[in-house]
Homo-oligomer: A and B are copies of this chain.
Amino acid sequence: MLSAMGETSVPLAPEIESQVREGFALHGFMRHLGATLTLLRPGFCEVRVPFSEALTQHHGYFHAGVSAAIADTACGCAAYTLMSPGSSLLSVEYKINLLAPARGTELIARARVVRSGKTLKVCAADVFGFEGAETLCATTLSTIMEIPGRPDRA
């Protein structure tokens, strides 16, 4: 129902793709989770993380914090693809609903930009546990601010 701006088959300009991937690589926390950026389109991003004991909550499933972290990062990368050159991004806030146990061999976050304003970008992400098939386990809604004239890195 949300007006989708993402997951088109349109490929991303190669220089933007490499900028977003470089940005992702700077997140020590994504490495610590074992997460990888697996798909990038204009206004769309997918992040995946394989299961590990290190990522569990008390029932042995993925911790909600893992779902939230990859959803938030996927939203940031989806917004990044629509950002003006020379800007940088800041997560303002997000909300996550946990819908089912995050179980499986892999956790997959897919984010898309719902509205791309000049200053604020609103993104939605879904998180799926993969165990033979995908099960929706969380959904998020987030706000990201674009800060002009302040590139992400020197």
Contacts and interface: CB of A to CB of B under 8 A. Distances in A.
Interface of A: 1-4, 6-7, 23, 26-32, 53-59, 63-66, 68-70, 72-73, 90-100, 110, 112, 114-115, 117, 119-120, 122, 124, 126, 136, 139, 141, 143, 145, 152-153
Nearest to A6: B1
Contact of A69 (B27, B69, B94): B69
Contacts of A6: 1
23 contacts: A1-B110, A1-B112, A2-B124, A27-B63, A28-B54, A28-B56, A28-B63, A29-B56, A29-B65, A58-B152, A64-B72, A65-B65, A65-B72, A68-B68, A90-B98, A92-B98, A92-B120, A97-B115, A97-B122, A97-B143, A99-B115, A139-B141, A143-B143
